[in-house]
A and B are shown apart, each in its own frame.
Chain A
Amino acid sequence: EVQLLESGGDLVQPGGSLRLSCAASGLTFSNYAMSWVRQAPGKGLEWVSTITASGGSRYYADSVKGRFTISRDNSKNTFYLQINSLSAEDTAVYYCAKGMYSGTYYFDYWGQGTLVTVSS
């Protein structure tokens, strides 16, 4: 059974930084692209970033480009999201998700989410 477990969410001051992690199990991690999707309180889903299986390609939403960095360590079955220059608009539950490739990616497994709150 595929399991994704996020960690790293916290209360952070505006302008601060955070690193989110997502540990995967129950799959051959190095075969799959992985993504982050966020959901602000009471709002809809917003795709944030995707990293391909090898880590060779990375994609970002315009809203986070230049501030967020996705990475992965296939030896640890874990991928990450480094988030910098946080603002209140980044307050959200951040989900990690496994990508299924077709064109680009849709998401067949999701983690439980980790909450990032940006507030002074």
Chain B
Amino acid sequence: DIQMTQSPSSLSASVGDRVTITCRASQGIANFLAWYQQKPGKVPQLLISAATTVQSGVPSRFSGSGSGTDFTLTISSLQPEDVATYYCQKYNSAPLTFGGGTKVEIK
């Protein structure tokens, strides 16, 4: 099965900083990658599908890139409301594996 590895597992950044989270697949998955945001105590929410398609209603500071095995979620200017854990998920084929998550905090 394809493994999904996120890095870092946690980060602390200042408001306004550019934040980059990486997700690596152990085999190529084309662009079949989604990103989710889970705020503390809340339900996960879909941010990005097809590696780069930002969902309606998601702030424009969020963007995704990558294809094949290496993917990136970028927050261009970190805001206090972005404190959350972020997960990638592959969906090229079952199993529909999630990455281990990246916890983002404000410094």
Binding site for B on A (CB under 8 A): 35, 37, 44-47, 50, 59, 61-62, 95, 100, 102-108, 110-113
Whether A107 contacts B50 in the complex (CB less than 8 A), given A44-B98, A44-B101, comes out as no
Contact A106 B43 (CB under 8 A): no
Which residue of A is nearest B6, CB measured?
A: A44
20 contacts between A and B (CB under 8 A): A37-B44, A44-B85, A45-B44, A45-B87, A50-B94, A59-B95, A61-B95, A62-B95, A95-B43, A102-B32, A102-B50, A103-B30, A104-B96, A105-B91, A106-B49, A106-B96, A107-B89, A108-B46, A110-B43, A111-B43
B62 interface residue (CB < 8 Å to A) = no
A105 neighbours in B (Cβ, 8 Å): 91, 96
Q: Interface residues of B: mostly helix, strand, loop or mixed?
A: loop
A-B residue pairs, 3 tightest by C-beta: A106-B34, A47-B96, A59-B94
B45 interface residue (CB < 8 Å to A) = yes
Contact B93 A103 (CB under 8 A): yes
Complexed CA–CA distance, A5 and B9 (Å): 31
Least CB distance, A6 to chain B, in whole angstroms? 11
B55 interface residue (CB < 8 Å to A) = yes
Q: Interface residues of A: mostly helix, strand, loop or mixed?
A: strand
Interface residues on B, range: 20 to 34
Complexed CA–CA distance, A107 and B44 (Å): 9
Least CB distance, B101 to chain A, in whole angstroms? 4
